[in-house]
Amino acid sequence: MAQTDPDIAVDPQTATIDVARRILLRGVAPGEQITVISTLRQNDASTWRGEAVFVAGTDGCVDIAATAPVSGTYAGIAPMGLVWSMQQTGAALPQGTQFDQSAPQIVHLAAEAAGSRVEASFVQLFLAPGVEATAIHDNGIVATLFTPPGSGPHPVVVVLAGSGGGLMEARAALFAAHGYAALALGYFGAPGLPPTISQTRLEYFESALHWARDSLAPADGFLAVSGVSRGGELSLVLGAMMPELIDAVVAYVPSSVSNGVLNAGRPGEDRHAPTWSWRGRMLPVLADNNPRADWALFDNGPSPKRQTPAFLAALQDAQAVSRAAIPVERIRGPVMLIGGRDDALWPSAHFVELAAQRLAERRHPYPVVALSYDDAGHTITYPYVPTTVLARAHPVSGIELAYGGTAAGNARAGALSWAAVLAFLAAARERHMPRTS
């Protein structure tokens, strides 16, 4: 039995989602086993549950940040393991349903020991106090702008989604929590935009970047672009095609070559139909005139399907790679590349290596940070979210795809890369000199 009334202390109780919490269990008999259950309803209505069993120390306490559970949904010492190890228990809203990505989320904790039960909770914020969200529908642009508190001006980050489309509002809100005017820019898969990625005109982004520079007046003229997956590929493309408009690029799990529409094209469209259009010309695709491209490896494979072997096969054709390579050396600013070494969707760590190698060979005069993480797959995100879903149906094609990594590896990559991105952008701003042309 507990010697006193047990309780759970969480510090801080309310903070942005990227802040680790100290969770302390107190008032339990020394040596007593304590079961802690964590539950969460995310903003997409999906529900999650984690569990860990601890043994109280001689002082009747358990500091989760310093104690490994004896069993549960995670192993080893992990201060936020009760969050990232959560298993999904209920489905998300149907694809295409609109919801508030940046609403607060509440993690509930329940501790049970020797017949006693105590509960607590903590709040994960995307919108930090004072951050304002504004829908943008101007000159054909579809976006949500997150503005930090204060009169500004603020440095700007344009945030691009991947092949699921829509607006990456949660990630943009977090950038705003760290002092950036963050524009979650949509380009397909949202109201007022095309339903697929097919034949995406890069001129749309050119207009959006001019709008951001003119309307937001970035502090010291600093504007960065950050994208994930196809958005990571797109970030590199935009930096290369519009170097006069972009001062730094952050590419999460990107491709270093231009690809076809893959899973995000129109129904019935060939997966290798070109994606990006610039000045009336479609950018080359890795699979074009590439005898090594063999998607039978994907089509005939078991579900959930791994795309990476098909990409690795296509990358064996040096001429095709050369034709489709994104000319990243044209980027006029620092470049950050983030990959997962167990990425099952495409070989992002290999793409990171190829892009970094190209930048080095061409003597890119700006800093390059290339990070790849062991046991991490395609879903490298911000801290501290559940990372246990390693496969899912693609939101456009509906094909069940493997994303790779382990829950622990993805969680580690998410936390480390987010801190690295903030440090990279701070350094890029520090060395940035406003352009005269």
Residues 231 and 375 in one domain: yes
- CATH code at 57? 2.60.40.2240
pLDDT tens for each residue of 225-265 = 999 999 999 999 999 999 999 999 999 999 999 999 999 99
**CA–CA gap between residue 299 and residue 294 (Å, rounded):** 9
Predicted pLDDT at 320:
97
- What are the tens digits of pLDDT across the range 134-182? 999 998 999 999 999 998 899 999 999 999 999 999 999 999 999 999 9
Same domain assignment for residues 156 and 114: no
Assigned domain for 396 exists: yes
Is there a single domain that holds both residue 278 and residue 402? Answer: yes
State the pLDDT confidence band at 212, using cuts at 50, 70 and 90: very high
Full DSSP string of 34-78: EEEEEEEE-TTS-EEEEEEEEE--TTS-EEGGG---SEES--S--
Indicate whether 156 and 12 sit together in one domain.
Answer: no
1 within a domain of the structure (yes/no): no
Q: Give CA–CA dist 416/309, Å, rounded.
A: 27
Domain boundary among 85, 105, 125: 125
Report the pLDDT averaged over residues 9-21.
98
Q: How confident is the model at residue 435 (pLDDT cuts 50, 70, 90)?
A: low
Whether 290 maps to a domain, the answer reads yes
**What CA–CA distance (Å, rounded) separates 75 from 78?**
8
99 in the same domain as 168: no
Is residue 24 included in any domain, yes or no?
A: yes
Which of 125, 153, 180 is a domain's end point?
Answer: 125
Is residue 106 domain-shared with residue 145, that is, in the same domain?
Answer: no
My answer on whether 330 and 388 are in the same domain is yes
**How do residues 254-293 score in pLDDT, each as one tens digit?**
999 999 999 999 999 999 999 999 999 999 999 999 999 9
For 105, the 3-state DSSP assignment is strand
* 417 CB neighbour count, 10 Å cutoff: 26
pLDDT at 2: 39
The answer to whether residue 2 is domain-embedded is: no
Q: Are residues 380 and 259 in the same domain?
A: yes
- Residue 361 binned pLDDT confidence (cut-offs 50, 70, 90): very high
Owning domain of residue 177: 132-431
Backbone angles phi, psi at 144, to 5 degrees: -125, 130
Model pLDDT, residue 433: 77
Predicted structure pTM score: 0.96
Residue 437 included in any domain? no
Over residues 345-372, the mean pLDDT reads 98
Residue 16 lies in a domain: yes
The tokens for 102 are: 């940046």
Q: Do 47 and 140 fall within a single domain? A: no
Q: Burial code of 102-117, b = ≥16 C-beta within 10 A, e = fewer?
A: beebebebbbbbeebe
CATH number of the domain that residue 372 is part of: 3.40.50.1820
pLDDT digits (tens, 9 = 90+) for 29-88: 999 999 999 999 999 999 999 999 999 999 999 999 999 999 999 999 999 999 999 999
Q: State residue 436's pLDDT score.
A: 57
Does the pLDDT value for residue 121 go beyond 60?
yes
Could you tell me if residue 140 is inside a domain? yes
Q: Residue 379 pLDDT more than 50?
A: yes
Last residue of a domain, one of 97, 125, 153: 125
Structure tokens, 352: 């990171």
Structure confidence at residue 174 (pLDDT): 98
**Is the pLDDT at 348 greater than 80, yes or no?**
yes
Tell me: do 144 and 109 sit in the same domain. Answer: no
Q: Is the pLDDT of residue 12 over 60?
A: yes
- Given a cut of 90, is residue 306 above it in pLDDT? yes
Phi and psi at residue 412, in whole multiples of 5°? -60, -45
29 and 90: one domain?
A: yes
- pLDDT band at residue 115 using 50, 70 and 90 as cut-offs: confident
Count of domains in the chain? 2
- Pair (423, 328) in one structural domain: yes
Over 80: is that where the pLDDT of 437 sits?
A: no
Burial class (CB within 10 angstroms; exposed 0-12, middle 13-18, buried 19+) of 90: exposed
